[in-house]
Structure 1
Amino acid sequence: MSTATTSFNDELEAAQIARRFTGARLQARALADYPGPIPLSLDAAYRIQEAAISQWPDRIVGWKLGRIPDPWVARLGAGRLAGPVFSRQVLTAIDGVSVDFPVFEGGFAAVEAEFIFKLGADQPRGRADWSIEDAAALVDVLIVGVEPAGSPLATINELGPCVVVSDFGNNAGLILGPEVADWRSRLDTLTCETWIEGERVGRGGARTIPNGPLDSLRVLLEICQLRDRPLKAGDLISTGAATGIHDIVAGQSSRVVFDGVGEILCRAIPRQAETD
């Protein structure tokens, strides 16, 4: 497959790229190269993502936000990117018990500490601009969790944000931990750290996320308005990597500690092909 940095020309090619990604995901098969011409704009990348969503045999229950690296921000005109979260990939952590999550062997896999909003109200259609206060009014609860980032393409992050967007935003699910009591008054002070195989690999918190988790939600509301995909009550919104993106491979275990809230134990296991 080509890795040339030329944009695809039509919806048929977008659908073909999407089908190669979704096929690899369903078959738990790594991709050696980007499966087509690399998209050069976020608009082109989201067209591939939309095609992949239509092909995927599951329903969307939320979205992840990712930071666009500084060198790309001016070029793309955006600071964050979004990807869907599907129902069968959402796991619930049990206190003191390690949760297994699947990874693409030969692909990309990482764990990210996340602050996750669960919405209590639908996003009204037709509203283009959102303030942080207006975004906060849609939130029901705040949950701490882990995003298992993942893609069949090992070089997904190296190839840039448009490639990340085109493959579901490099998302492979969510692991939900406990709710945060009194989150509206505590949000700015929440901190966390991530461990892999007993070694601390990152520390951060809500303030690590540019302008905070609520600004991630604000940006997502604007993205979803442009895409005519309004958020719904009950949606889970993973607001960004609070301690960084930490590579992991099958067989390794991670512990993510949210100070004053709880911790999540998880272990990467080889992903298996889906049968239906």
Structure 2
Amino acid sequence: MKPNPAASEPLELSREIAAHFVAARLAAQALPGYPGPLPQSLDAAYARQDAAIALWPDRVAGWKVGRIPDVWLERMGEDRIMGPVFAHRLHTLTADQIAELPVIAGGFAAVEAEYVFVLGADAPIDKTDFTPQQAAELAGELRIGIELAGSPLATINELGPAVVVSDFGNNAAVFLGPVIGDWRERSWDSLVCATWVEGMQVGRGGALHLPGGPLAALAFALNRGARRGHPLKAGMIVSTGAATGIHDILAGQSSRLVFDGLGELHCHAVPATATAKEQLR
């Protein structure tokens, strides 16, 4: 049965659960379990996410988009989710730089190869019916990149998409690599990539690994963002989904992401440390 989109929950509950997640992330401490009743709909989950965004001491610099697994599609009523990427967790990699992925001990962490849009123009605040083709008109750059999927809750993915949404979409950081200068002229199936962890190939895919490809993800972010009162702005990024899958990574491990014909990105997972609110302002 699909959730009732009008279903809501007390604002106090959203704020209480958000406060637990925010405190755990700032302290870099794992949560032993979900800190309250599980969200029963995506709308309830986004209410908790919005409450957490309001508590987080940093500005939203963009959004990550993730695919909802097929087994959850009918129940959720949507095929993707979104979560905030904060300014201090968005990094541009210089040539030969190794990205450091902060991993919360006892929580969840995974490395993902991503194709990341940088918006070239503001989206209309009330347009909620973007097609992928219309979304392309707002896109500026397309870059190769890395998402660190991360949460203080180890079981976040097992508990389902609504739980993922409620904790920042299971995002911990995004790293931007080089620009794909000719992306508008390329065929999407020419964008192929692979992920390696500790010298072993753990996934291979590309821009079309997820249904509809990157432009479908961008259109979703534009539409869901406007419906939530978060219209996307020029300069914001949209990380469009795990192009080779979601690959667990532990502190001390390294990963290599190979984007055929475009370059390689390298990262190393390190133990996350506590963050004072003043450091993010």
Alpha-carbon distance in 2 for matches of 1:152, 1:264: 25
1:167 aligned to 2:162? no
State the partner residue of 2:113.
113
Give, in angstroms, the shift of residue 181 of structure 1: 1.6
Q: Tell me, yes or no, if the aligned pair for 1:100 and 1:267 is still in contact at 8 Å.
A: yes
Q: 1:139 to 1:8 in 2, by over 3 A?
A: closer
The size of the alignment, in residue pairs, is 270
1:244 counterpart SS class: coil
1:185 counterpart SS class: coil
Give, in angstroms, the shift of residue 96 of structure 1: 2.6
State the partner residue of 1:4.
none
2:88 counterpart SS class: helix
State the partner residue of 1:222.
223
State the partner residue of 1:3.
none
Q: 1:101-156 CA distances to partner (integer Å, 9 max, x unpaired)?
A: 21111000000000000000000122121111110000111010000000000000
State the partner residue of 2:27.
27
Q: Tell me, yes or no, if the aligned pair for 1:95 and 1:264 is still in contact at 8 Å.
A: no
Q: 1:77-115 CA distances to partner (integer Å, 9 max, x unpaired)?
A: 000000000000112223333221211110000000000
Give the RMSD, CA atoms, in angstroms: 1.1
State the partner residue of 2:176.
176
Counterparts of 1:227-242 in structure 2, within 5 Å, are 227-242=228-243
Q: 1:59-84 CA distances to partner (integer Å, 9 max, x unpaired)?
A: 00000001101111111100000000
State the partner residue of 2:143.
143
1:115 counterpart SS class: strand
Which amino acid in 2 is paired with 1:230? P
Counterparts of 1:81-92 in structure 2, within 5 Å, are 81-92=81-92
Q: 1:207-236 CA distances to partner (integer Å, 9 max, x unpaired)?
A: 102111001011111101110110000000
Q: 1:112 to 1:9 in 2, by over 3 A?
A: same
Which amino acid in 2 is paired with 1:240? G
Alpha-carbon distance in 1 for matches of 2:233, 2:21: 26
Q: Which runs of 5+ in 1 are unaligned?
A: 1-6
Q: 1:175-202 CA distances to partner (integer Å, 9 max, x unpaired)?
A: 1100002101225010000000100000
Moved more, 250-259 or 88-97: 88-97
Alpha-carbon distance in 1 for matches of 2:186, 2:114: 15
Q: 1:226-260 CA distances to partner (integer Å, 9 max, x unpaired)?
A: 10110000000000000000000000000001111
Alpha-carbon distance in 2 for matches of 1:91, 1:231: 19
Alpha-carbon distance in 2 for matches of 1:226, 1:28: 32
Give, in angstroms, the shift of residue 264 of structure 1: 0.5
State the partner residue of 1:74.
74
Q: Which runs of 5+ in 2 are unaligned?
A: 1-6
Which amino acid in 1 is paired with 2:192? T
State the partner residue of 2:270.
269
Give, in angstroms, the shift of residue 9 of structure 1: 3.9
State the partner residue of 1:93.
93
State the partner residue of 1:254.
255
TM-score, normalization by structure 2: 0.94
TM-score, normalization by structure 1: 0.96
Q: Structure 1: which 4+ aligned runs deviate by more than 6 Å? A: none
Q: Tell me, yes or no, if the aligned pair for 2:128 and 2:224 is still in contact at 8 Å.
A: no
Alpha-carbon distance in 1 for matches of 2:131, 2:9: 36
Give, in angstroms, the shift of residue 8 of structure 1: 8.3
Q: 1:149-175 CA distances to partner (integer Å, 9 max, x unpaired)?
A: 000000000000000000000000101
Alpha-carbon distance in 1 for matches of 2:92, 2:267: 11
